[in-house]
Chains A and B, each alone.
Chain A
Amino acid sequence: MASDSSPANFNGPTSPDDSYSSPIGNTFSSPGDARRRSRRRSSTPSAFATPPPNQSRFATSDANPALTPTPSSRRGGRRGGRRATSTTPVNAAATPTSTDDAPASSEGGEGYDADDARPTFVWGTNISVEDVNEAIYRFLKHFRDSSTASQSEDGLLREGKYEIAIKRVIEIEGESLDVNARDVFDYDPDLYTKMVRYPLEVLAIFDIVLMNMVGRINPLFEKHIQTRIFNLKSSTSMRNLNPSDVERMVSLKGMIIRSSSIIPEIREAIFRCLVCGYYSDPVVINRGQITEPKICLKEECQARDSMTLVHNRCRFTDKQIVRLQETPDEIPEGGTPHTVSLLMHDKLVDTGKPGDRVEVTGIYRAMTVRVGPAQRTVKSLFKTYIDCLHIKKTDKSRMLAEDPMDVDNPTGRNVEDISFDEEKVEQLKELSKLPDIYDRLTRSLAPNIWELDDVKKGLLCQLFGGNALKLASGASFRGDINILLVGDPGTSKSQLLQYIHKLSPRGIYTSGRGSSAVGLTAYVAKDPETGETVLESGALVLSDRGICCIDEFDKMSDNARSMLHEVMEQQTVSIAKAGIIASLNARTSVLACANPSGSRYNPRLSVIDNIHLPPTLLSRFDLIYLLLDKADEQTDRRLAKHIVALHFENPESLEQDVLDLSTLTTYVSYARKHIHPQLSDEAAEELTQGYVELRRRGNFPGSSKKVITATPRQIESLIRLSEALARIRFSEWVEKSDVMEAFRLLEVAMQQSATDHSTGTIDMDLITTGVSASERMRRENVLSAIRSIIMEKMQLGGPSMRLLELLEELKKQSPGPEVHLHDLRNAVSTLASEGFVSLHGDTLKRV
């Protein structure tokens, strides 16, 4: 064993000191420590007869197998033991032949344990190093993704996932191999358990096995490759880290709040003799310290205290200390966020900036605190930190993960990000089977907004969305549902908007008054430095696949509003300016809210006049809700009951069956991603019939342009709504009941049940009191009475008549029920619309 003469390794396995220079054993050093050492050894050929394939030789170079750790070394012993044990078996098999013959030695790798009769254990455990060694080797060699393996028939012949990965790393001369811990678990749960429980030991073996494999694939590959484990099966909450987690592999989510500047950490120092100019061998860091050689090692010189550090021949690595803080959702009520320090090395340095949300995999470590720098005495305290192995940025600031909403693109970028827990899925499916799931979801949506159930149902449909369809011919049908809320002030429109904005993925909230056309779509800007023109996305493009909430829709300039025509039907934004002609995707649902034109809904005007938006735009909204403040005793009573209960009952009994926000969002995400309902024949039949009926109603004889008539757009809306409703039930088929509900929603939205189709006005009295037939009858009577009076008293083209006079006349003629001025006005305006009379202010003329 030539290597035994290597100075660094001399007392390696037994001395506690070694623990401080071993890969992870030392709190002051990085995980890359020992590997560097092995590389260093390769650069000092004097000690070895064999040339470069050093990494494989690293295995052969260590102590002899008989040298088991001495239990007497109490503290360092464990790690010393690891070093010894982890290397001995390799030593036994990988004889010096391991230089060039990659295929041959791969066989040899599997036969490791055959040579060694006595199993070696990781100190203090019953883990056999050989077993682990072999398990890792098998895993790296043979693991195949279940999905890819099933795809190719010759799966057996194909290389394993990690063999490919290793080759790629070698090609790009990378420094690390990412290993998905879930893969490890799938392949060998036992290995996974060991890895999590004894990460220091198992990872060291991992690295050794990996380097063996690399050595076989490319013996000339010089760089060291580290294993980076990520995606542990379970992640710990920072709050729950406790002493039993020390020295285990943990995975944490959190937010980076501070990162230190990059600290160069010395790994190897080279000294030069000031007397003779002799350069020393590299001296490795030991216990966080470099010992300066006292005398020149050159035999001829041997000058005392002559060695000086040569800075630019020393090797440094980057180190950074980062502070991670709990994310707000993990903090219990009445607590402040916990923080933990992360130690990052090399490539991991600067991977996260303050403010980033990350998921970190690492080893939880505790470090004794010294009383003073020079003192050996330690306090009874430990400082804890995480030796970081892998860091992944997550952006879960919005409740819904963004990607689940990618309907068209299920094989998107971060597939593993969006995989739903099986358990969770079961739970969701269970939920979807509840008979009252539709109502339950409705209740769960903005529970603090009282009433407005039908509006919430519409919004729910918008969240779930219909199916986008792309025909082979190129025509496409949007699946997004657009909703407009028009209503009196103080009917919590804005709160609803804010709520949906918070809930929806990529929700953008703008206010109509402050938005310009370019702000909503996209604008072209010139880069001040290069002079190139660049496209900057506006709100609509940014909310692609999300919901764009526009408040104060009525206050928007016409110019800006016209931009929405294209977006709401074609789902694109086309730009042609400054030499750029582009069409950007804006597959967004629009949720807008507006006040009626006269700021309060005027029941005397028609719906269209009240909303006062161009019909072209209006027809693009699937649902237009009129939120009217109406006095309804029933509603009042429920409100009163609710509030009394609030004050006098146990809060527990108040708890409605509502889903919490996160369940709601996962439910929506899951449905959008996995459920793509289709129309059943029955439903299609119902749709056709309903539509015909709708058309017929719109074409009511004598109806003017003041009614929103059904157009083909309506039928598309209905399909979308029914699809969304089916999705709510997790059903793959749109049933007849869905279609009926969709029709109901459409009707309720426009309060069409209360609309007078001949005048286009909403019968407010109808809504408020529920009296309708008799009322309508009375009106008819008044109307005919007026008609006859006018016929009687007024000449065609004759002198005009004041309304009050008419009222007097009316009272004289029909002594029955009291006729009010506004009844009269209503009737007269109806007559005016018929072209029977013309009304100017308070006077009317027969025409």
Chain B
Amino acid sequence: MVGLAYDLLANPQGAVRSTFEKAVASSGLDFDPASLDGKDWGALDLFRQFLFDQTHLSQVPILNGETIKWVQPNTLVRFRGMIQDMLGNEFYVGAFKDGDVWRTNKFMDVSHFPMPMASTSSPHMRVWERRLLYCVPVPGRNSWTEPSSELVVNRCVDCTSQQREKRRRMDDEPVDHMDMLVSDEGFQGSPSTKKMKEDGHPSVSSQTTEPINEGICSHMSMVPSIDSDSLPCLVKIYDSPESDLKLNDVFEFIGVLTFDSEVSMDKDDQDELSNGFSEDVLVHLPPNKVPRLHCLIHRKLTVPDFLHSSPIMELKPHVVKEIREALLRHLTAVLGDDSVAAHFMLLHLLSRVHTRVENIAVGKLSLNLTGFSKESVSLFGHRLSLAVKDLLPVTHCIPLTVEFLNSASLAPIKDYETNRLITGVLQLAEGSHLIVDETQLKAGTLNSVGVDNTRLLKNLMELQKVEYDFKYYKMEMAADVQLLIISEGKSNILPADIVIPFQPTSVDSSEVVAAEALEAWRWYLATVKSLPHSIESEMQKVVENDLVEARQSDRSIGSQDFNRWLTMGRLMSVSFGENCLSLEHWQMVKELERLRRERLK
């Protein structure tokens, strides 16, 4: 019965049910549903095997603003996104007894079988829980990270037609799938889905805009309608430890897409009780705007996952060195032949927070390029941001002006009216790159919001933490953002780890970068960045002596400078693909630092 009796792509719920039935059958008459509390009964193994071992993963359509138009409900989809908010847990009837047969509701919204009115304590019913996560596409993701979807589209149109066919076929199998049929009909009976289906199909061919039920969306103006880039998704997570999924993590969720008419009905429910509880968050997330995804498998995404052809290159020293040289040349060209700045830029692009000790985020390396004028910023600033965009998957740019500071909501704020976390500019995924353009900042008065915002930026810079505003208290969330500041003079609002005057010598650039080179650089940055690193005890002695000496000769050198040098040392040797700090690299760091200090004078 298991095997591939069901098409896992088109009818995943069928597979879930059949494995459940099998599990029930295998335990015989004295089946105790409690034994399945918070556990998987083999359904996930089936999917895992199907997707990863048999590499069917690429056939699963990725859910986004485009694909949502033609993807069928109750099919298998993937969604790549950042966890923006956690909506708590939801209790549902996990298993119940329909007559003499146990049924399950796992991985679905609405029961496919008539359910008895029941209290939670009934022995004929097990209540299970699932977590609700509100996910959005990773903010600031660059277009090159999008997988080319042509292939998938074709296949999926294909498989939806298969599914339809299958349904028809199933109608002819009265015995085995009777209940399935019933439920399908019941499902189609609900108005919004029906409409969805009717609208949905033509839209595949004609490529019209949203297949959205107009009547509902008119009085749901609170939520902006889906534009194709930012399709949020409500992901329901089953049986996974809380620590697995954290706020702002980027995940790929593979699961069952469902549409369900529940909320639109609830809206009209004017009885006194629902008024009291109407703060229920789901009301504000109509299913036609926010698709539901019952997650079967989730996996954390890292930068290499965004690379297309993930070139399986080994970390051979000479290969790494070659790429490093090429990338450095490219950066130097972008920065108008300023090779010192390019060196710092490279280290900056490789930085990440690798440890947190007390209040120190070890490994961050924010960079402040000073000496920009109005003219040079339009040229180099623009070029720089393009270059960064091409190299890193997630990038942002903030033009720092008084108006921006006074009006922007940088920190996420909890809205207790809707019980939602309203996102802010600084709710960023791990490893995001942020360019702050300070050249546009003019004299002006900051209001309280502005003061708050500058403080937030400063905290992000110094501690790599963002304070989320929960109204009654603030909560600090750890972040890992690479910050690049472009300013005229040294930025005092945002004290960066490295301040270096930018001294371009040539203006012409416009070198054409080959696509393969870009790919290689992306791969290089992503791979090298995550290398582990250590230090030999001899080298440690050398470094220590150097530090002490430096401090003895100049009392103004403090722990901050030490931190900076060591971070640079680490990044320098990592940039050569090495795991251990060598004397040579340490000398390079000292030399770089000397050059920088010279410029500062």
Contacts and interface: CB of A to CB of B under 8 A. Distances in A.
Interface of A: 28, 74-75, 78, 124, 239, 241-243, 246-247, 255, 257-258, 260, 263, 265, 288, 319, 321, 323, 325, 328, 331-339, 341, 354-355, 366, 368, 371-373, 376, 378-385, 447-448, 450, 629, 631, 633, 636-637, 639-641, 643-644, 646-649, 651, 654
B246 A331 contact: no
B148 interface: no
Contact of B120 (A255, A332, A382, A654): A382
A748 to B, nearest CB: 23
B475 A243 contact: no
B121 interface: yes
Contact of B122 (A75, A265, A334, A448): A75
Given A335-B86, A379-B110, A654-B357, A644 B121 contact: no
A257 B563 contact: no
A373 B544 contact: no
Contact of A263 (B272, B471, B566): B272
Contacts of B355: 646, 651
A255 B92 contact: no
Contacts of A265: 272
Nearest to B88: A338
A317 to B, nearest CB: 13
Contacts of B121: 78, 124, 246-247
A260 B548 CA distance: 62
A647 B362 contact: yes
Interface hub of A257, A383, A640 (most chain B Cβ within 10 A): A640
Contacts of B543: 640, 644
A258 B273 CA distance: 17
Contacts of A246: 91, 120-121, 127
Interface string B522-537: 0000000000011100
Interface string B135-168: 0000000000000000000000000000000000
Contacts of B273: 28, 288
A717 to B, nearest CB: 32
Contacts of B266: 372
A633 B552 contact: yes
A339 B414 CA distance: 12
Contacts of A631: 551-552, 555
B366 interface: no
Contact of B127 (A124, A334, A339, A382): A382
B421 A336 contact: yes
A646 B262 contact: no
Given A366-B127, A380-B93, A648-B540, A331 B475 contact: yes
A366 B242 contact: no
Interface hub of B37, B117, B273 (most chain A Cβ within 10 A): B273
A263 B105 CA distance: 35
A243 B91 contact: yes
A383 B266 CA distance: 13
Given A332-B242, A383-B277, A637 B548 contact: yes
Contact of B559 (A239, A263, A450): A450
Contacts of A255: 472-473
A321 B276 contact: yes
B115 interface: yes
A254 to B, nearest CB: 11
A373 B421 contact: no
A380 B115 contact: yes
B66 interface: no
A640 B552 contact: no
Contacts of A379: 109-111, 262
Interface SS of A by simple majority: mixed
B570 A647 contact: yes
Interface in B207-266: 242-243, 246-249, 262, 265-266
A658 B37 CA distance: 40
6 contacts: A239-B242, A247-B121, A334-B247, A380-B110, A385-B277, A636-B548
Interface in B71-96: 85-86, 88-93
Interface string B34-64: 0001000000000000000000000000000
A654 B356 CA distance: 11
A637 B544 contact: yes
Interface of B: 37, 85-86, 88-93, 105, 109-111, 115-122, 124, 126-129, 242-243, 246-249, 262, 265-266, 268-277, 279-280, 355-360, 362-363, 414, 416-417, 419, 421, 470-473, 475, 477-478, 533-535, 540, 543-544, 547-548, 551-552, 555, 559, 562-563, 566-567, 569-570, 581
A822 to B, nearest CB: 19
A636 B534 contact: no
Given A243-B129, A333-B478, A648-B570, 19 more contacts: A28-B273, A243-B120, A243-B128, A323-B419, A334-B249, A336-B421, A373-B270, A373-B274, A378-B117, A380-B109, A380-B110, A384-B91, A448-B358, A448-B359, A629-B555, A631-B552, A643-B559, A646-B360, A647-B567
A445 B203 CA distance: 65
A337 B280 CA distance: 15
Contacts of B276: 260, 263, 319, 321
Nearest to A639: B559
A423 B32 CA distance: 38
A300 B6 CA distance: 69
Nearest to B91: A382
Given A124-B121, A255-B472, A372-B269, A640 B86 contact: no
Nearest to A382: B91
A74 B118 CA distance: 8
A355 B472 contact: yes
Contacts of A341: 277
A336 B92 contact: no
Interface hub of B118, B271, B563 (most chain A Cβ within 10 A): B271
Contacts of A647: 362-363, 535, 563, 566-567, 569-570
A371 B471 CA distance: 34
Contacts of B126: 243
Contacts of A368: 117-118
A246 B279 CA distance: 21
A366 B357 contact: no
Contacts of A633: 548, 552
Contacts of B271: 373
Contacts of A636: 547-548, 551-552
Contacts of A649: 534
B540 A644 contact: yes
B117 to A, nearest CB: 6
Nearest to B190: A371
Contact of B547 (A260, A333, A643): A643
Contacts of B566: 643-644, 646-648
Contacts of B248: 334
Interface hub of B111, B126, B127 (most chain A Cβ within 10 A): B127
A257 B472 contact: yes
Contact of A381 (B91, B279, B478): B91
A239 B452 CA distance: 31
Nearest to A78: B121
B241 to A, nearest CB: 11
A328 B469 CA distance: 12
Return the 8 tightest CB-CB contacts between A and B, nearest first: A334-B246, A640-B547, A382-B91, A648-B535, A243-B127, A647-B566, A448-B358, A321-B276
Contacts of A381: 90-93
